[in-house]
């Protein structure tokens, strides 16, 4: 996406693609939206999409595919073993990451399950990482391991002007290795650090972490699920890489990691995933598990059509016009919110725009889940579905205490190439109204709390009649508008 300047008006992102297939949307009236969120236990994961206007829950598996991806799907070679489709995908992965082996899996968390099974060899081991992702942590814990988040201090400062808030704290990593290397199962770096607002890592940081791991003989595992956005930020924020072709950056990352895995629901705008690696012994260990849990080695749980779409999608990741669209839309949203004094994570990251609910709803204690309450409130007043990324997304400690999250965020994901700028403006408008009426919003409490990954299925209720008051105020201000 070129930096195109506008004459006589503010600059804004300009789409370098056109829309050729559309899906009709439905915006139900506010009373129906209140009913829907109540039926969904105030959990946006449990809303039915038919009741959602703009689905900003996630970018996972919801990115718009290109004409070339759809065309490639028609050329898929259906066979259980030895499919030509697999070899095309494998060749593309070898080309862009320079890795020797590719093991397919049905999605990102399947890779995480296999990585935890192979590399967490005994209970009590620890995995230092820049920051956890929900499913990553769950799989490591399931194998008896623990995680240690060693992100740079600035990573947890919601509003900042640090360009690479996803970087790992090098001093802490060195200290951990020096003090207790034998306890470390592996070191993990996550591109486009999801839970702290889609914040990128710099190449300088990846290189340093890799050097330290190699010297210490510790494996470096790289989660490339959100790499597309991270590549855009490396190109635009890290001066040394401004003129480096994207493929060279990807190959450098591929060479710095021992194991690289990804969710193709994000990277490559398809659905699936896989593990890329160089080492023969490690490959043999992973390979045994693929047919057991995923499928034969030439599909690993993916449909051949999705694999064809992924091959093309990965190739399109090398095109700046393609990877710039989401970060530029997110940047536009973040600028609008910042200008209106609404607390959002800055600098703008990838994946989505992240509202800082801790500040937006400073009157709600974390035990009453401000980010969950804000996501429910936003759905009620706009039909927009965001995702809670805060204490609700954490897992209760074994002793029953609540681990309060570092941040309370509502993520408004921007699946790639899906929404138009006027839809983004609608969201900005409704969030501005909500901010002015934020005192009306109250907290939530659990009515049903699953033990593992509770945010997916948990049900909650408002802790007062705040939702009916919010609806009344909306009607007062917007009349019969949807």
Q: How far is the CB of 480 from ligand F0G (least distance, A)?
A: 35
Query: Does the active-site annotation cover 389?
Result: yes
- Asked if the peptide bond before residue 130 counts as cis, ω within 30 degrees of 0, the response is no
Q: How far is the CB of 151 from ligand F0G (least distance, A)?
A: 14
Query: Does the active-site annotation cover 329?
Result: no
Instruction: Select from 139, 265, 385, 454 the one that contacts ligand F0G (CB under 6 A).
Output: 265
HSE at residue 413, side-chain half, CA atoms within 13 A, is 22
The encoded tokens of residue 2 equal: 């070129």
Q: Give the rounded distance of the alpha carbon of 389 from its chain centre.
A: 10
Query: Stretches 137-145, 221-229, 231-239, 414-422: which one binds ligand F0G (CB under 6 A)?
Result: 221-229
Query: Does the active-site annotation cover 237?
Result: no
Cα gap 397→143, rounded to integer Å: 16
Query: Does the active-site annotation cover 223?
Result: yes
HSE at residue 380, side-chain half, CA atoms within 13 A, is 31
Site string for ligand F0G, 372-401 (x = CB under 6 A): ------------------------------
Of 395, 414, 303, the C-alpha closest to 349 is 414
Cα gap 124→182, rounded to integer Å: 11
Nearest 5°: phi and psi at 224? -100, 15
Catalytic hit among 137, 389, 417, 430: 389
Q: How far is the CB of 167 from ligand F0G (least distance, A)?
A: 16
Outline where 143-270 has alpha helix (H).
170-180, 203-216, 227-237, 246-256
Which residues sit opposite 261 in a β-bridge?
223, 275
Instruction: Select from 273, 343, 349, 458 the one that contacts ligand F0G (CB under 6 A).
Output: 273
Of 427, 332, 337, the C-alpha closest to 13 is 332
Cα gap 219→113, rounded to integer Å: 16
Residue indicated by tokens 């450098």:
252
Does 225 bind ligand F0G (CB under 6 A)? Our answer is yes
Query: Stretches 45-53, 103-111, 158-166, 168-176: which one binds ligand F0G (CB under 6 A)?
Result: 103-111
Instruction: Select from 42, 43, 44, 58 the one that contacts ligand F0G (CB under 6 A).
Output: 58
Site string for ligand F0G, 7-36 (x = CB under 6 A): ------------------------------
Site string for ligand F0G, 179-198 (x = CB under 6 A): -----------x---x----
Please identify every residue annotated as catalytic.
80, 133-134, 223, 266, 389, 455
Residues near ligand F0G (CB under 6 A) are: 58, 60, 107-109, 133, 135, 190, 194, 223, 225-226, 263, 265, 273
């Amino acid at each position: 996406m070129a930096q195109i300047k506008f004459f006589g008006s503010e600059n804004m992102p300009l789409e370098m693609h056109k829309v050729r297939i559309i899906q009709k949307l439905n915006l139900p009236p506010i009373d129906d939206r209140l009913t829907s969120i109540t039926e969904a236990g105030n959990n946006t994961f449990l809303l039915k999409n038919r009741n959602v206007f703009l689905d900003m829950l996630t970018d996972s598996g919801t990115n718009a595919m290109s004409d070339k991806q759809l065309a490639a799907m028609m050329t898929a070679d259906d066979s259980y073993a030895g499919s030509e489709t697999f070899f095309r995908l494998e060749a593309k992965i070898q080309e862009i990451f320079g890795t020797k082996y590719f093991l397919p899996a049905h999605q990102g968390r399947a890779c995480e399950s296999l990585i935890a099974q192979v590399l967490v060899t005994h209970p009590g081991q620890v995995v230092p990482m820049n920051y956890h992702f929900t499913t990553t942590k769950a799989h490591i814990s399931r194998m008896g391991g623990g995680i240690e988040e060693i992100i740079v201090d600035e990573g947890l400062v919601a509003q900042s002007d640090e360009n690479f808030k996803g970087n790992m704290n090098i001093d802490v990593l060195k200290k951990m290795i020096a003090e207790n290397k034998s306890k470390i199962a592996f070191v993990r770096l996550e591109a486009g650090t999801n839970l702290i607002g889609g914040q990128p890592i710099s190449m300088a940081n990846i290189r340093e972490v890799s050097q330290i791991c190699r010297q210490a003989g510790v494996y470096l595992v790289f989660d490339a699920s959100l790499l597309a956005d991270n590549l855009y930020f490396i190109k635009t924020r890290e001066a040394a890489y401004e003129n480096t072709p994207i493929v060279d950056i990807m190959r450098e990352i591929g060479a710095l990691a021992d194991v690289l895995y990804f969710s193709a629901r994000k990277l490559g705008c398809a659905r699936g995933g896989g593990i890329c690696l160089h080492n023969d012994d490690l490959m043999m260990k992973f390979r045994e598990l693929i047919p057991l849990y995923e499928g034969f080695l030439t599909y690993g749980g993916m449909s051949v059509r999705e694999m064809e779409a992924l091959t093309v999608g990965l190739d399109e990741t090398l095109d700046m016009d393609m990877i710039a669209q989401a970060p530029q839309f997110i940047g536009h949203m973040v600028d609008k919110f910042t200008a209106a004094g609404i607390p959002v994570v800055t600098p703008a990251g990838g994946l989505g725009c992240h509202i800082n609910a801790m500040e937006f709803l400073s009157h709600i204690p974390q035990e009453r889940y401000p980010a969950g309450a804000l996501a429910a409130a936003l759905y009620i007043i706009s039909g927009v579905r965001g995702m809670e990324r805060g204490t609700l997304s954490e897992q209760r400690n074994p002793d029953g205490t609540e681990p309060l999250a570092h941040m309370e965020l509502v993520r408004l994901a921007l699946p790639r190439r899906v929404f138009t700028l006027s839809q983004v403006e609608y969201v900005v408008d409704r969030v501005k109204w909500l901010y002015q009426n934020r005192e009306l919003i109250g907290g939530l409490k659990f009515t049903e709390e699953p033990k593992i990954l509770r945010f997916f299925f948990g049900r909650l209720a408002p802790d007062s009649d705040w939702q009916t008051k919010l609806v009344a105020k909306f009607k007062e201000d917007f009349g019969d508008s949807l």
